[in-house]
Amino acid sequence: MLTIYSDDHRLHRGRVELNDGKLQPCYECPERADVILETIKRSAPGDIIAPLEFGLRPVRAVHKPRYIEFLRQAWDLWAAEGRSCDALPLNWAVRGMRQIEPDHIDGKLSYFSFDAGTPITAGTWSAATTAANVALTGAAKILEGERGAFALCRPPGHHAAADYFGGYCFLNNAAVATQYLLDNDAARVAILDIDYHHGNGTQSIFYDRSNVLFVSIHADPLQEYPYFLGHSDEQGRGDGKGYNLNLPLRRRCGVNEWFGALDTGLQRISDYAPDCAVVSLGVDTYIDDPISQACLESSDYLSVGARIAQLGLPVLFVLEGGYAVNDVGINVVNVLTGFTDVRRRAR
């Protein structure tokens, strides 16, 4: 399996996130990608290549201009206030308040975000644009005929919407890659999001569209972050009606239930008959993940990859969550290995 990777992910290293009522070290840390890369080098054959530079055009195809401008400037505006700590928002516009972009950086952080767990640092913009380029390079390789590619990118992306950040995500790498596939020859793309958390950003970006099928397996938003999107009755809107499938599961559900949802999602994708699939690959479904209440063991990820391979489609895997740093490498590699083993046998 081809892997796309850049060291530039290290430019984003948040110091603190608000969690359990405390400012804690960030779970979404550079060591995650380092461990995955080392495990791939050790035990998953295949080339590792650097990303190409795509410029901002494919990012603009998904994210709104004011939001892109905000992300680009946020750290400088924050630092101009004499601050050197991470930039975090403090309040949000809720029911009855107005959505007007403030002039002050503190207000802008609030306006363009939905949580206090996603710090912006000096290198966040560079790391986030590189992550998008990593995913885009994977998409370009799929268009060139590669049957599988892994975008080893961070910060992750699936919570980022057209104009807001949160859940450790700034630019929606999977959505940017998906739109690039559509703009370059693919007529229909299916996104399978198997991260423990609902991909609210990805859902919202493609909610009105029938050329993208979004399928997500995640913890029930009644019980788990991001809480305000991801219910089963969210099925798409307008042309997109019927092209959004949420499969929420109760927290701490068992392995059989999880794989049952995977089979349901894969069947829907198969019926849709897309040109290719993008998998938002979070491994925070792992039993020992520090922020999740999930059930998969490391060996289960082999079956996850194998079942995805049975779609018979070209697949771009894009890294999302997974915070058990010691095991995140083997969990990701097992998905990729399960996938390539089935593909090899099929040839």
Could you give phi then psi for residue 207, rounded to 5 degrees?
Answer: -60, -30
Pick the closer one to ligand 6XA by CB: 159 or 343: 159
Q: Which of 12, 63, 158, 159 is catalytic?
A: 159
Contacting residue, 8, 234, 284, 300, with ligand 6XA by CB under 6 A:
284
Q: Please give the residues from 159 up to 198 whose contact with ligand 6XA meets the rule CB under 6 A.
A: 159, 167-168, 195, 197
What is the smallest separation between the CB atom of 191 and Zn ion, expressed in angstroms?
Answer: 15
Please answer whether residues 130 and 137 qualify as being in contact, where contact means their C-beta atoms are separated by less than 8 angstroms: no
Torsion angle, alpha carbons of 161, 165, 168, 174, to 10: 30
User: Using CB distances below 5 to 8 A depending on partner kind, what does residue 243 bind out of Zn ion, ligand 6XA, none?
Assistant: none
Structure tokens that stand for 170 in this block: 């700034």
What is the smallest separation between the CB atom of 280 and ligand 6XA, expressed in angstroms?
Answer: 8
Site string for ligand 6XA, 57-96 (x = CB under 6 A): ----------------------------------------
- Known catalytic residue at 197: no
Q: Does 343 bind ligand 6XA (CB under 6 A)?
A: no
Could you give phi then psi for residue 259, rounded to 5 degrees?
Answer: -70, -30
Integer-rounded Cα Rg, in Å, for the chain is 19
User: Pick from 120, 155, 146: which is nearest to 8 by CA?
Assistant: 155
For residue 119, is the peptide bond before it cis, meaning its omega torsion is within 30 degrees of 0? no
What is the smallest separation between the CB atom of 50 and Zn ion, expressed in angstroms?
Answer: 26
Contacting residue, 16, 19, 46, 146, with ligand 6XA by CB under 6 A:
19
Pick the closer one to Zn ion by CB: 224 or 234: 224
Please answer whether residues 280 and 195 qualify as being in contact, where contact means their C-beta atoms are separated by less than 8 angstroms: yes
Q: Please give the residues from 209 up to 268 whose contact with ligand 6XA meets the rule CB under 6 A.
A: 225
Pick the closer one to Zn ion by CB: 164 or 196: 196
Q: Please give the residues from 106 up to 135 whose contact with ligand 6XA meets the rule CB under 6 A.
A: 117
Whole-Å CA distances, 289 to 113, 128, 284, 293: 25, 24, 6, 8
User: Using CB distances below 5 to 8 A depending on partner kind, what does residue 168 bind out of Zn ion, ligand 6XA, none?
Assistant: ligand 6XA
Please answer whether residues 119 and 26 qualify as being in contact, where contact means their C-beta atoms are separated by less than 8 angstroms: yes
Contacting residue, 321, 324, 328, 340, with ligand 6XA by CB under 6 A:
321
User: Pick from 136, 110, 122, 155: which is nearest to 56 by CA?
Assistant: 136
Task: Kindly give, in sequence order, each residue whose CB lies less than 8 Å from that of residue 110, ignoring residues fewer than 6 positions away.
Answer: 89, 90, 91, 92, 93, 102
Active site residues: 159
Please give the residue ranges that form the binding site for Zn ion (CB under 5 A): 195-197, 282, 284, 321
Please give the residue ranges that form the binding site for ligand 6XA (CB under 6 A): 17, 19, 117, 159, 167-168, 195, 197, 225, 282, 284, 291, 320-321
